[in-house]
Amino acid sequence: MDRSRKATREGNEITLQHVSPKEALLIEEMVEEKLAQLQASIEQLKQTPEGIAELQGRLKAFGECSRIEGETSGQFYDKLRRWLDRDIPQTKAPLHPPRQVE
């Protein structure tokens, strides 16, 4: 086995993964913009009865999704996106349907 080929390949992968400071700043700005849009859509949900019910169901099922100290915008965006995308588990149906009284 040629060890130099492996070392060269690993070096190339590291070089390809490098992000310049300018690129990092652009990525961070894009993440901030996406986070602001997501938070604005949540605020819009709070304006409708269906949206309020949806958010309350998520709070009940998954708990509150808030930003913790030291969490980057990207990490919080990912967490909030998962919180919104998860399916809310269905509650158990009653064992017996309600009786019809005539």
Range of the domain at 62: 19-85
DSSP secondary structure of the chain: --HHHHHHHHHHHHHHH---HHHHHHHHHHHHHHHHHHHHHHHHHTTSHHHHHHHHHHHHHH----PPTT--HHHHHHHHHHHHHSPPPPPPPPSSPPPPP-
Q: Is the pLDDT of residue 100 over 80?
A: no
Q: How many domains does the chain have?
A: 1
Residue 2 belongs to a domain:
no
Residue 40 belongs to a domain:
yes
Residue 5 belongs to a domain:
no
For residue range 55-75, list pLDDT tens digits in order.
999 999 899 999 999 999 999
pTM over 0.85, yes/no: no
Residue 8 belongs to a domain:
no
